[in-house]
Amino acid sequence: MLIKIRNSSDLKDHDVTDLDDYYDRRSFIRSSFKYLTYGALANYGMMFNTSHASFDFTSAKKSTFSATEKLTSFESITSYNNFYELGSGKKDPKLNSHLLRTNPWTITVGGECNKPGTYNLEDFVNPHALEERIYRLRCVEAWSMVIPWLGIELSNVIKRFEPNSKAKFVQFESIYDPENLPGQKRRVLNWPYVEGLRIDEALNPLVILAVGLYGKDLPNQNGAPLRLVVPWKYGFKSIKSIVKIRFTNVQPKSAWNVSAPHEYGFYSNVNPNVDHPRWSQKRERRIGSFLKQKTQIFNGYAEEVAHLYKGMDLIKYF
């Protein structure tokens, strides 16, 4: 594995405003106004059927892949989010979560596979064993969490649909509902949100499709009812509210890579040696902790995934 180290910036960590503080200040006035009108919006949202299939998590097995670090609180995980379909502020997704309709919900599987089809959520998930996976999540904005996800291993799902020899990548697509989702009324990104993995990445046993967290159904603001979790990549790769999965021989045009290719690479592996053009990636702030900590290569999962990138220039393929 080839990892090139770039020269450090003259700026130090303490010279730079925390990104999460910056974004919070930027959206303070907008968010404050929304909270004043929350009651009215919530009542309006009750006209929507936002509940989705509930799964029995009592039988979910504990995974040996789980981290042993202190969990981030349920309140922080569900109230500090990036989900641009529901707004660009950190508090917007929770505030607007009632606008995401998750019932009925179907997932369409297609492309280079032998068993394409459209499935309701229960039929898509139930053939597979539920697991609890406690994973570190590292945001590209240099903050992190430790989250107890509940979900199914993606590799088992992929094998079920039998991709053929032409399938080099797996493409995922989020819900597109601009009539109801406030963020999709603006061209912040090229909607619908699209992400992708190389097929060997997708088959790695670490990757899951999550349907819950903290023993509960996945909240809307966290990507209900079905989201991807790829723990060694920056969080924006873990696409939320998935409605389509497609096997393809062409690298998917992922949303952030299309929007700003010089800032967000297709691979987006967590790498402290590759800075974002506007900030360092060497350290991160764990939500709930005061002090910053060092960021680990592949977010601490190098033993499980480094072989996927053997011989690659991880500066060029960032």
Break the chain into its structural domains and give their ranges: 16-309
What is the per-residue pLDDT for 198? Answer: 98
Confidence of residue 51 (pLDDT cuts 50, 70, 90): confident
Fold of 16-309: Sulfite Oxidase; Chain A, domain 2 (3.90.420)
Asked if pLDDT for residue 35 goes beyond 80, the answer is no
Is the predicted pLDDT of residue 232 greater than 90, yes or no?
yes
Burial of 306 (0-12, 13-18, 19+ CB in 10 A): middle
Statement: residue 170 has pLDDT above 80: yes
Between 53-62, 84-93, 266-275, 305-314, the lowest mean confidence (pLDDT) is in 53-62
Q: What's the rounded Cα separation, in Å, for the pair 128 and 134?
A: 18
Q: Is the pLDDT of residue 12 over 60?
A: no
Q: pLDDT tens digits, residue range 265-315?
A: 999 999 999 999 999 999 999 999 999 999 999 999 999 999 999 999 999
- The rounded percent of the chain whose pLDDT value lies above 90 is 83
Q: What is the pLDDT of residue 46?
A: 40
Task: Confirm if 6 and 273 have CB atoms less than 8 A apart.
Answer: yes
Rounded to whole angstroms, the maximal C-alpha distance in the chain is: 56
For range 237-263, the mean pLDDT: 98
> Taking 90 as the threshold, does the pLDDT of residue 31 lie above it?
no
For residue 50, the model assigns a pLDDT of 59
Q: Can you give the three-state secondary structure of the chain, one letter per residue?
A: CECCCCCCCCCCHHHCCCHHHHHHHHCHHHHHHHHHCHHHHHHHHCCCCCCCCCCCHHHCEECCCCCCCCCCCHHHHHHCCCCHHHCCCCCHHHHCHHHCCCCCCEEEEEECECCCEEEEHHHHHCCCCCEEEEEEEECCCCEEEEEEEEEEEHHHHHHHHCECCCCCEEEEEECCCCCCCHHHHCCCCCCCCEEEEEHHHHCCCCCEEEEEECCEECCHHHCCCCEEECCCECHHHCCCCEEEEEEECCCCCCHHHHHCCCCCCCCCECCCCCCECCECCCEEEECCCCCEEECCHHHHCHHHHHHHHCCCECCCCC
pLDDT value of residue 171 = 99
Kindly indicate the confidence band of residue 121, based on its pLDDT and cuts at 50, 70 and 90. very high
Q: Is the peptide bond before 178 cis (omega within 30 degrees of 0)?
A: no
pLDDT of residue 52: 81
| pLDDT (mean) for 202-210 | 98
Average pLDDT, the chain: 89
* pLDDT of 1 over the 80 cut: no
